A and B are shown apart, each in its own frame.
Chain A
Amino acid sequence: MTDGLSLTFAALADPTRRAILGRLAEGEAPLKELARPFAMSLPAVAKHLKVLERAGLVERGREAQWRPARLRADALREAAEWMEPYRRYWETRLGHLDAYLDELQTRSAHTADRRDEGTSG
Chain B
Amino acid sequence: MTADELVLRLPSDVEIVVMRQFRAPATLVFDAWTTPDHLRRWFGRDGWSLPVCEIDLRPGGAWRYVHVGPDGAELGLSGEYLEVEPPRRLVSTERFDEPYFDVMGGGTVNTLTFEEDATGVTTLTMRVVYRSKDARDSALRTGMEAGMAEGLHRLASLLADLT
- Chain A positions within 8 Å of B, measured between CB atoms, are 1, 9, 12-13, 82-102, 104-105
Contact = CB atoms under 8 A, between A and B. Distances in A.
B10 A92 contact: no
Interface in B1-53: 4, 6, 8, 10-13, 16, 18, 20, 22-24, 28-29, 32-33, 38, 41-43, 45-46
Interface stretch (B55-63, B70-78, B84-92, B142-150): B142-150
Contacts of A84: 143
A101 B140 CA distance: 27
Contacts of A86: 8, 16, 139-144
Interface of B: 4, 6, 8, 10-13, 16, 18, 20, 22-24, 28-29, 32-33, 38, 41-43, 45-46, 124, 126, 133, 137, 139-145
Contact of B6 (A85, A91, A100): A91
Nearest to B137: A1
20 contacts: A1-B133, A12-B10, A82-B140, A83-B8, A86-B140, A86-B144, A87-B6, A88-B145, A90-B6, A90-B126, A91-B6, A92-B46, A94-B124, A96-B43, A98-B22, A99-B42, A100-B41, A104-B28, A104-B32, A105-B24
Contacts of B11: 13
A101 B6 contact: no
Q: Is the interface of B mostly helix, strand, loop or mixed?
A: mixed
A86 B139 CA distance: 8
B32 A101 contact: yes
A91 B8 CA distance: 10
Contacts of A85: 140-143, 145
A105 B27 CA distance: 12
The 7 closest A-B pairs by CB, nearest first: A85-B143, A100-B42, A101-B24, A96-B42, A1-B137, A89-B143, A94-B20
Nearest to B20: A94
A90 B144 CA distance: 9
Contacts of A12: 10
A104 to B, nearest CB: 7
B19 to A, nearest CB: 10
B35 to A, nearest CB: 11
Nearest to A108: B28
A83 to B, nearest CB: 5
A104 B93 CA distance: 28
Given A86-B16, A89-B144, 15 more contacts: A82-B141, A83-B140, A86-B139, A88-B143, A94-B6, A94-B18, A94-B20, A94-B124, A97-B29, A99-B42, A100-B38, A100-B41, A101-B23, A101-B29, A101-B32
Given A88-B143, A89-B145, A98 B4 contact: yes
